[in-house]
Amino acid sequence: MLPAQRQHIEQSWAIAAAAPDELARCFYARLFEIDSVAARLFATTDMDAQRAKFVAMLDTVVGAIDEPRALVHGLAALGRRHAAYGATEQHYASVGEALLAALGATLGPAFTPDARLAWSEAYALVAAVMRRAGDRSPRDGAPSDRHSPPTREATDD
């Protein structure tokens, strides 16, 4: 990721992180609007806790934007868990669309075309790691740490 792209992500995140509930609510509302299968995957999920995990995950990704390798282990684990829940390629596309829509709604005019492109590229990297790990894992049975975000601590082995 180019330095200018990292700057766009960090600057826009500083604004979005000030409204975490709005961001997360916009994200899940859009996701469930465009992907009814994804909505069913979350049918028994505590959405208050899930929204908090979503924002924490984004914060972790942004915090490691200069050191993306630090996220690989945690993102791979997240990808394996999502594969076990039944996440598909279409879900990753829906999540990307919902993320950009939520950022746009939360940031308003601060979500410039350059910021949108930077977030698109960051999400593409995150999703690629998760999909690759998910493709390599068995899909029978969901693990117990459902929807936990990747953490830097998880990558420090």
Residue pLDDT, tens place only, 127-156:
888 888 777 765 544 443 434 444 443 333
Q: pLDDT digits over 97-113, tens only?
A: 999 999 999 999 999 99
Q: Where is average pLDDT lowest: 73-77, 122-126, 144-148?
A: 144-148
Question: Where are the chain's structural domains?
Answer: 3-155
Q: pLDDT digits over 5-27, tens only?
A: 999 999 999 999 999 999 999 99
Rounded Cα gap, residues 16 and 79, in angstroms:
24
Give Cα 59 distance to the centre of its chain.
10
Residue 39 in this model has a pLDDT that exceeds 50: yes
Residue with tokens 């005019």: 109
Q: Which CATH number fits domain 3-155: 1.10.490.10, 3.40.190.10, 3.40.50.620, 3.90.1150.10?
A: 1.10.490.10
CB 61 within 8 A of CB 149: no
- The residue among 9, 4, 18, 2 whose CA lies nearest residue 111 is 9
What's the pTM value of the predicted model, to 2 decimals? 0.82
